[in-house]
Amino acid sequence: MRKFFVGLGNPGSEYEHTRHNIGFLLVDRIANAHSVGGGAWKEKFSASFMDVSIEGERVTLVKPQSYMNRSGEPLQQLMEFFKIPSDEIVIIHDEVDLPFGTVRLKLGGGEGGHNGLKSISSRLGTKQYLRLRLGVGRPPVHQDESSGREFTEQELSGWVLGRFGNEEARHIETFLDNGIDALRSYLKYGLKRAQNEVHSK
């Protein structure tokens, strides 16, 4: 059974290399290294997709092109078209509740305010799907503010829609490669062992 690796992001040049588009960045990096037979992206149901081979497994990379808060619509249509059950997908997304550079595999759970995950859970009718969570951290707190305060929705939105800082940009390729290694481990050894390997780093 083929797997779907679904990178979340927003289409358009103005969103390239923003924190919210790290899912796009990761699947693009996989595509560059593992594309099969020339590996052109195809378009269907407002999504870009490409078949690749990783660890001997057939994987379809998917980038919904419907904007983040409607990611579930094209994904649901592609899954129905290719007859892919929800337990064969991995959603790759930015995670503000993890420090920058942190990689985690998680099955099910809440959406943590992530509109892409909310859309997917709503359209699929379940939260029981695998996520590759890529930490982008939260906005830095000014020294004169309480470190325990909650960030407003506007502050978080501006943060994830912003581009990576210079220090982050220097480490982004290593970060993405660590995410790809986590997916390789999942394909090769299964979720439990992959989680043990990834979460011990």
Residue 93 is a catalytic residue: no
What's the CA gap between 194 and 187, in Å, rounded?
9
Task: Give me the chain's average pLDDT, please.
Answer: 92
- The rounded distance, in Å, linking the Cα atoms of 107 and 87 is 9
Which pLDDT belongs to residue 144?
A: 47
The pairing of strands 130-135 and 42-44 is unpaired
Over its length of 201 residues, how does the chain's per-residue pLDDT go in tens digits? 899 999 999 999 999 999 999 999 999 999 998 776 667 899 999 999 999 999 989 999 999 999 999 999 999 999 999 999 999 999 999 999 999 999 999 999 999 889 999 999 999 999 999 999 999 998 876 544 555 666 777 788 899 999 999 999 999 999 999 999 999 999 999 999 999 999 987
Residue 39: the pLDDT is 72
Q: Which residues are within 8 A (CB) of 121 and not within 5 positions of it... i.e. 6 or more apart? A: 72, 111, 127
| pLDDT score at 37 | 62
- Rounded CA-CA distance 22/92 in Å is 8
Catalytic residue chosen out of the listed positions 20, 93, 171, 199? 20
Please state the domain extents for the chain.
3-138+151-199
Architecture of domain 3-138+151-199: 3-Layer(aba) Sandwich (3.40)
The per-residue pLDDT for range 116-155, each reduced to its tens digit, is 999 999 999 999 999 999 999 988 765 445 556 667 777 8
